Structure 1
């Protein structure tokens, strides 16, 4: 779909943002899957919507139509991989809602969408909350998380694991003036290096997030990229990256993630890759250690590398642990809740030949009058449970600092 561009850098207009809010409201009211996102270090806001609820998912991203993918941490009966086909396109460059090139609208679904969109422009009483559910009650205490971290440490000390990444969730009330599109824009302004997204899937709910972690990308020139991102420190305003120092625990945690990626390369006998890092990078109020891995797929004649590595990498050791399968089983037995799409992955597929999927971190599921935030911490034998609890609190603040401002 060569007509879709994502290279222009312009500030979204007020007129576009007003339309985007109506676009969101229309998708919610018609219960249609849609995604709104901003790529890292860009200013263009993209949105796409599927005009039906067909939930078929392409087996390989290389052969997928243009769209948006969202997959859970663990595929289950309740949470499947989702693919939003780009039937409708709307971005801040054109400020015009378009039917995708080549889409045959024999049933008049686009006209129905535009009709509902027009009606909602006039409907000043519309409230998206009327179409969302209230969260199921749950109890999550600090003591329970500290006990889980301690259990992780003991299991690692016994030699079963190298690293485990337990997570937790917490519910926060949303203010009366809270609107997900406005919050998306605030996150875009606050976190220029993050992938910012707002995704609605019927029966799976509404998800808002700003993640710093690329899982895989493949560009139109057949360049593959992935990163290892681990180690977390909070920073204050005016902090200089040159001042940072990392503990042995943080350095080792990041090295584990890098070794995990290299081991995935070894499994497919891929030896020709470029490695850059580790270096310190900023993500909102946090800094991390990051190493980038790049492969020229054309030079290696490996056109399916994106799909192959996606299956090998997810869930990464940064969100699950090492070894991956035993760590995933440990979390399944001990974490005591379903992560759903938190720490899964999401992103645009085949936009001008470019695909970029990100780990769904720093995210919230939006409910009627509440939101549930998620955060995890990488546990090694040297972890301090109190410090790991504090790290999850700091990660919550990445979103809350913006949303509650």
Structure 2
């Protein structure tokens, strides 16, 4: 059976959501790396999976093959980002699977995947949870987090740091009707300005999220990044013109902007456009945001995305300042491995565009429930109890959308 016929057989007379769900189920069943996503302000949902055995260590974004990258928070060489090649792709516009030309003659890997897909597609009782690990035990401890925030403040007041971003996690269970693809569609509808995604790799497991924060983007020789910090919970009908920011939140966001500008200075880049700060809404939260743009052609810096990725991650919005000492403080005091929370993820070289986002407002999914993550930027002006409240509000970004929790 040739590849064209197989592709037609995959998608014949089925809705996009049905095809996407079967695509996801097949990837989970066969332990195949997969990513499904929708970019901010766009309608198009798309996905890709890797059925070949290639393991790529991407150092150069500009020349990377089309794919999807996901990286942990850890600000070190290990563990490295996972790269999902776009061997088989689908998008909502075409509702048809496309096979990368380099795979057309690798019949065995394609044959195995197609057989599993067709089997999964007809399997009414398929449950993705059967292929996941049990969740680790996570303690709910309000006082422990408040004490951690106080530790951060003490270190800041002693002059060792300007900012530290502690985080915490919380476990939850979900109903039998819960399915990541269904939740992705709901998140897309609820959060038009978020990068919504499902990602699975054998190394990092299954993640679902709706992040508001761009890390880096290149499109038409323009490089973009943003400074996003400061958080307030607001009602659905909140008008941005009514936003009032405390000095703590203004300074917290300004630190992130200065961090980006200092990265530009390190590489002697002086020609950039700075827009903001302005108030933006992300679900039930508002933030302060400053955008930065660089014309890579005019500045003769075609490799700017790769260079800035190395300098920016992890940003002061998710780690602290100075970066390495703050990361070491968190490794010693936070008490758990963040894994992919506050790492980065996104499509690389799709239609000439690379877009990587900070992995916030996310959950890792397990056999018996999920674990959700949130952090809070601590400065000398912070009030520990309010930082706890901020993490609670951030949790609701996802939990308010999920059914029957």
Place the TM-score, normalised by the shorter chain, in its bin: over 0.9
Q: Is the 8 A contact 1:62 1:304 kept in 2?
A: yes
- Summarize the alignment of residues 330-341 of structure 1 with structure 2, pairs less than 5 Å apart: 330-341=329-340
Q: In the alignment, what sits opposite 1:300? A: 299
Kindly provide the CA deviation profile for residues 38-70 of structure 1, in whole angstroms up to 9, marking residues without a partner as x.
000011101000003533221110110000000
The 3-state SS of whatever aligns with 1:94 is: coil
Residue equivalent to 1:275: 274
Whether contact under 8 Å (2:341, 2:359) holds in the other structure is: yes
Distance 1:14 1:370 in 2: 29
The SS at the match of 1:149 is helix
Structure 2: distance between partners of 1:183 and 1:361: 16
Which residue is 1:222 aligned to? Answer: 221
SS in 2 for 1:124: coil
8 A Cα contact 2:75 2:327, kept in partner: no
- Of 193-202 and 231-240, deviating more is 231-240
CA displacement, residues 275-330 of structure 1 (integer Å, 9 cap, x when unaligned): 00000000000000000000000011101000000000000000000011110110
Deviation for aligned residue 1:107: 3.9
Distance (whole Å) between structure 1 residues aligned to residue 178 and residue 62 of structure 2: 38
Q: Secondary structure at the match of 1:178?
A: coil
Q: Secondary structure at the match of 2:230?
A: strand
The answer to whether the 8 Å contact 2:172/2:369 transfers is: yes
**What is the rounded CA distance, in whole Å, between the counterparts of 2:260 and 2:76 in structure 1?**
25
Deviates more, 1:107-116 or 1:256-265: 107-116
Q: CA deviation at 1:123?
A: 1.2
Q: CA deviation at 1:136?
A: 1.8
Distance across 1 between alignment mates of 2:97 and 2:320: 43
Partner-residue secondary structure (3-state), 1:391:
helix
What does residue 315 of structure 2 align with? Answer: 316
SS in 2 for 1:333: helix
Q: What's the secondary structure of 2:101's corresponding residue? A: coil
The alpha-carbon deviation at position 78 of structure 1 amounts to: 7.6
Q: CA deviation at 1:114?
A: 1.7
Deviation at 1:105, TM superposition (A): 3.3
| Deviation (angstroms), 1:77 | 9.0
Distance 1:53 1:369 in 2: 30
Per the alignment, residue 151 of structure 2 pairs with: 151
Once residues 346 and 178 of structure 2 are traced to their aligned partners in structure 1, the CA distance between those partners, rounded to angstroms, is 24
Q: Provide the rounded CA distance (Å) in 2 between the counterparts of 1:126 and 1:392.
A: 34
Please say if residues 79 and 340 of structure 1, whose CA atoms lie closer than 8 Å, have aligned partners that are also in contact: no
> Is 2:97 the counterpart of 1:97?
yes
Task: Indicate whether 1:343 and 2:347 are aligned.
Answer: no
2:134 maps to: 134
Equivalent residues of 1:79, 1:204 under 8 A apart: no
Q: Is the CA contact (8 Å cut-off) linking 2:163 and 2:379 kept in structure 1?
A: yes
In 2, the alpha carbon distance for the partners of 1:173 and 1:80 equals: 30
Measure, in 1, the Cα distance between the counterparts of 2:38 and 2:79. Answer: 25
Residues 328-361 of structure 1, C-alpha deviations (whole Å, 9 max, x = no match): 1100110010000000000000011100000000
**Could you tell me how far apart the structure 1 residues matched to 2:54 and 2:124 are?**
31
Q: Does structure 1 residue 36 correspond to structure 2 residue 36?
A: yes
- Counterpart Cα distance in 2 of 1:144 and 1:55: 40
Q: Does 1:372 align with 2:385?
A: no
Question: How big is the shift at 1:102?
Answer: 3.6
> Aligned residue pairs: how many?
392
Q: Displacement, 1:101?
A: 3.0
Decide whether aligned partners of structure 1 residues 241 and 211 sit closer, same or farther in structure 2, where only a CA change above 3 A counts: same
Provide Cα deviations, 1:174-203, integer angstroms capped at 9, x if missing partner.
111000100111100000000000000013
**1:250/1:76 Cα in 2 relative to 1: closer, same or farther (>3 Å)?**
closer
Looking at structure 1, the residues matched to 360 and 403 of structure 2 have their Cα atoms a distance apart, in angstroms, of 18
Listed one character per residue, the Cα deviations across residues 222-281 of structure 1 (whole Å, up to 9, x for unaligned) are 100000000000111221111110000000000000000000000000000000000000
Is 1:399 aligned to residue 391 of structure 2?
no
**For residue 242 of structure 2, what is the aligned residue in structure 1?**
243
For residue 266 of structure 1, give the secondary structure of its aligned residue in structure 2: helix
Q: What SS is found at the alignment partner of 1:372?
A: strand
Q: Please give the alpha-carbon distance, in whole angstroms, between the structure 1 residues aligned to 2:75 and 2:277.
A: 31
Task: Give per-residue Cα distances to partners, 1:6-63, cap 9 Å, x unaligned.
Answer: xxxxxxx980001110000000011000000000001110100000353322111011
The 1-side partners of 2:14 and 2:361 are apart by: 27
Separation of aligned partners in 2, 1:387 and 1:136: 27
Report the Cα offset of residue 146 of structure 1: 0.6
Q: Partners of 1:359 and 1:261 in 2: how far apart? A: 14
- Superposition RMSD in Å: 1.4
- 1:37-186 mapped onto 2 (5 Å cutoff): 37-74=37-74, 79-186=79-186
